[in-house]
């Protein structure tokens, strides 16, 4: 008999709520309609694969870790850095264990292992995924600053200071030297 996938189906609906869950720290920077947790996680996964490849780690594993790094926020909401000072009880591994209850054991174990690895901060892939999380926040801050949100500079500076990989630090320098729409100018052949 096939595994019961009802818990998986429920989780997929639950995961969809991250498309509507806003990253709350940006409100403190004055951003009216900040990115969602899902949007952040998607670009974090791309960045994790890039950093891992350039750092000699497994890019697929790093991206896999990044995909799951904020899934607990379906239940806890996005608690910004200041909020974590007061709301200290939400253990990502405990939340993940609850989220995976009833899933086929092999799947539940894999998800729980991914979250534990990310939270453990020790494997090369977890280090790359965690740097990707910081670099994505910095990148988003650069974009918000370009849109006129000057207070985003605090997030740019703090995220940059928390990078640990050589690739993450080098990418940060490149991002800071680029115009957020410079890619478009290059793509259409504009100069100067």
Domain ranges of the chain: 6-187
pLDDT attached to residue 29: 93
pLDDT, average across residues 121-144:
98
Banded pLDDT at 87 (limits 50, 70, 90): confident
CATH number of 6-187: 1.10.3210.10
From 51, 47, 45, select the one nearest 63 (Cα to Cα).
45
Q: Is 187 exposed, middle or buried (0-12, 13-18, 19+ CB in 10 A)?
A: exposed
pLDDT, average across residues 54-71:
97
The pTM assigned to this predicted structure is 0.93
pLDDT attached to residue 26: 95
pLDDT attached to residue 107: 95
Least confident residue range of 58-62, 139-143, 182-186: 182-186
3-state secondary structure of 158: helix
């Amino acid at each position: 008999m096939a595994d019961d996938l009802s818990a998986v189906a429920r989780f997929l609906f639950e995961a969809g709520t991250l498309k509507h869950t806003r990253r709350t720290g940006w409100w403190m920077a004055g951003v009216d309609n900040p990115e969602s947790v899902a949007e952040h996680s998607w670009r974090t996964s791309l960045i994790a694969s890039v950093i891992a490849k350039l750092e000699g780690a497994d890019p697929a594993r790093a991206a896999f870790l990044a995909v799951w790094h904020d899934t607990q926020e379906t239940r806890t909401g996005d608690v910004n850095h200041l909020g974590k000072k007061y709301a200290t009880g939400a253990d990502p591994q405990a939340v993940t264990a609850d989220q995976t209850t009833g899933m086929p054991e092999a799947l539940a174990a894999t998800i729980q292992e991914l979250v534990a690895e990310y939270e453990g901060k020790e494997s090369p892939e977890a280090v790359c995924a965690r740097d990707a999380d910081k670099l994505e926040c910095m990148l988003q801050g650069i974009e918000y600053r370009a849109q006129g949100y000057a207070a985003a500079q605090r997030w740019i500076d703090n995220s940059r200071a928390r990078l640990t990989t050589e690739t993450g630090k080098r990418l940060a320098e490149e991002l800071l030297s680029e115009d957020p729409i410079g890619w478009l100018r290059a793509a259409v052949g504009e100069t100067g």
